[in-house]
A and B are shown apart, each in its own frame.
Chain A
Amino acid sequence: MTLLEVKDLDVSFETHDGEVHAVSKLSFSIDAGDALAIVGESGCGKTQSMMAVMGLLTENGKASGQALFKGKDLLQMNVADLNKRRGKEIAMIFQDSMTSLNPYLRIEKQMIEVLMHHQGLDKAEARGHAIEMLRAVRIADPERRIRQYPHEYSGGMRQRVMVAMGLLCQPDLLIADEPTTALDVTVQAQISRLMTELRAKSNTAIILITHNLGVVAGLCDRVLVMYAGQAVECGTVEQIFYQARHPYTRGLLKSVLRLDQPGDTGLEAIPGNPPSLLSLPAGCRFRERCPQAHDACCEMPPMRRDEQGHTWRCFLDQVDE
């Protein structure tokens, strides 16, 4: 069953430098229980597209298109209806756990708030639930810890609390925006493992926004690659990692720092920088940095599709063995 279907999403922001086109005609879908990674670099629009879906854009942003969650368009909803779903059916966790948690409130209060609001539990029940959740994310001694403040937790623990809060109401969809980027490697591994387990237990669909391909390989089933506001490739993990067709994806895979390659092999970096979102070039946005660009690329390539459902936005066919 399709849980979330995004169709032709456009997000732009009014700034005093002009209009920034953060996301252009983005379309994808995710089924119940699926894990989709949205991969791309800073400025590619991955965070803003999800903020638009959740209705969290800043004042100067506007979104158009459709974001059908269980058939209803989130972009057309008013705040009251959105609030019924946010936290309960769709949850989002952010990168910086220190700023996502209120430093003046105890963890207990912040967790209970969500439960009491959405599930109408009373304080005692909510507390019990919250403690169970903390236990599930492996916070030691949760009965004592829950009474503490965010600053008394380490970065890794805070992030685990964020994951716990996201899953409190057992949402159908969890959107995680770079949840492990700011964390140490060993903590990253813990959280990745945690999310896999929790997902298996409650069949929550996950949209993982990240630029860390290692985490994607371990956690996700499908991958959507974005560049300069557009989707440039989408497919299963195997398709993307072993049969990448878009030159950007291939470049990204080649430039990733890997542990399993000997150290003396040179790193192949993609030269240049992404285009400015204020003045996007006509035609393919990756053209300037593409080792295989040719004249036809002055036109915007269409999104192509093969029989296995692998889609990519390029005129070329690029098949790798």
Chain B
Amino acid sequence: MNDRVLRVQDLAVHFKLREGLFFKARTYTLKAVNGVSFELNAGETLGIVGETGCGKSTLARAILGLIKPSRGRVLWLGEDLGKLDEEALRKKREDLQIIFQDPLAALDPRMTVRDIIAEPLWTFYPRIARVQVDERVRGMMKMVGLLPNQVNRYPHEFSLGQCQRIGIARALVLNPKLVVCDEPVSALDVSIQAQIINLLKDLQKMLNLSLVFIAHDLSVVRHISDRVMVMYLGRAMEISTQKALYRRPLHPYTSALIKAVPVPDPRLARIASDTGLTGDMPSPLDPPAGCVFHGRCPYVVKRCELEVPALRRMENGDWVACHRAEELDLTIGKSST
């Protein structure tokens, strides 16, 4: 499991926005993703967690080349995706797939399930026989837990959970190596979330997929990730193994996120601790100087306002971007110092 398949280096995506007319016009730069680096090995799952505005969805699309990065590189199996022309990049899509957040919107409402799942096949194998397509589509449907006799139905005739299964079938029909899951369970009901996460785990094992699993909630990624990256305002705050992160997070923001998740246990919930965060999230149009988190951090010192902390490696192999990482002990369950 040590073969690295994906390497992202200092990736940034900046959007230029114009406001006002003519002479009063001002351009703002929206730094959606502002310098993110990480690696992914074959068969591994990296969970990416962050709240609204942290840039995780933009990051997902930049990794796949659906959005052009403003800076940085994405190396897939050693090859720089940014250097490929349109056609070459298109061919790579056989290996790089995505599952979307809104299960129904991700499906063309006027196509049958069969057509939706078959489309990637037609695209990459234009001469493929009808019979073969049909066989493969039905096989995929069975694999994701859908009854094959539903092939002729339309997306609006399915529940959201089933729509997501269709989306997963479509993403996997070409046997990709990397699947980016952009908040795949956020729109689903609680018990369906568990179904879909279990499905993804099984499929990953079966097909040896590498997954990038994006969510806004730490409890969601826990069950599926090997490592977790926490993002805030376009930057990575921490990248740790799953076990370590949930026991002893390295970054104050991670600790706040963990404390913020409501525990479904009345006795524990009553003594739930304050997240420790103050204020609201700043706008990505105008990120604070120094550490982007310093305005809300309960452990802030002078240095945090002036200097941007680099993402650095700690003793146990995990990464964190915090000036005070060595001194803070954010073990869950211990009251904050």
Contacts and interface: CB of A to CB of B under 8 A. Distances in A.
Interface string A243-261: 0000000011101111110
A98 interface: no
Given A41-B191, A211-B189, A259-B218, A186 B268 contact: no
A267 B198 contact: yes
B289 interface: no
B270 A273 contact: no
Contact of A212 (B52, B259, B262, B277): B262
A259 B198 contact: no
A321 to B, nearest CB: 15
A186 B246 CA distance: 17
Contacts of B223: 257, 263, 265, 267
Contacts of A154: 52, 280-281
Interface stretch (B107-115, B156-164, B172-180, B311-319): B156-164
B161 A217 contact: no
Interface string B43-74: 00000000110000000000000000000000
A217 B266 contact: yes
Contacts of A237: 266
A184 B266 CA distance: 21
Interface residues of A, number: 45
B207 interface: no
A213 interface: yes
Nearest to B50: A184
Q: Is the interface of B mostly helix, strand, loop or mixed?
A: helix
Contacts of B192: 41, 269
B264 A216 contact: yes
A184 B217 CA distance: 8
Given A185-B260, A217-B263, A263-B243, A258 B219 contact: yes
A78 B121 CA distance: 59
Contact of A217 (B217, B257, B264, B277): B264
Nearest to A271: B195
Contacts, number: 134
Nearest to A252: B191
Contacts of B225: 263
Contacts of B162: 273
Contacts of A257: 190, 193-194, 197, 217, 219-220, 222-223
Nearest to A260: B263
A154 B258 CA distance: 22
A315 B26 CA distance: 69
A42 B160 contact: yes
A41 B189 contact: yes
A260 B261 CA distance: 10
A192 interface: yes
A301 interface: no
Interface in A170-204: 184-189, 192
Contacts of B279: 140
Interface string A212-223: 111111100000
B260 A218 contact: no
A18 interface: no
B242 interface: yes
Nearest to A257: B219
Contacts of A260: 263, 265, 268
20 contacts: A42-B159, A140-B280, A156-B280, A157-B280, A185-B216, A185-B260, A185-B261, A186-B275, A214-B219, A214-B263, A215-B262, A218-B263, A218-B266, A218-B272, A257-B190, A258-B264, A263-B223, A267-B197, A270-B194, A273-B159
Interface of A: 41-42, 140, 154-157, 184-189, 192, 211-218, 237-238, 241-242, 251-253, 255-260, 262-263, 265-271, 273
Given A214-B269, A269-B192, 11 more contacts: A41-B189, A41-B190, A185-B51, A213-B264, A216-B264, A217-B266, A238-B266, A252-B191, A256-B194, A259-B246, A269-B198
Q: What are the 10 A-B residue pairs with the smallest beta carbon separation, nearest first?
A: A214-B262, A269-B194, A213-B264, A255-B194, A184-B51, A218-B269, A41-B189, A217-B269, A269-B195, A189-B260
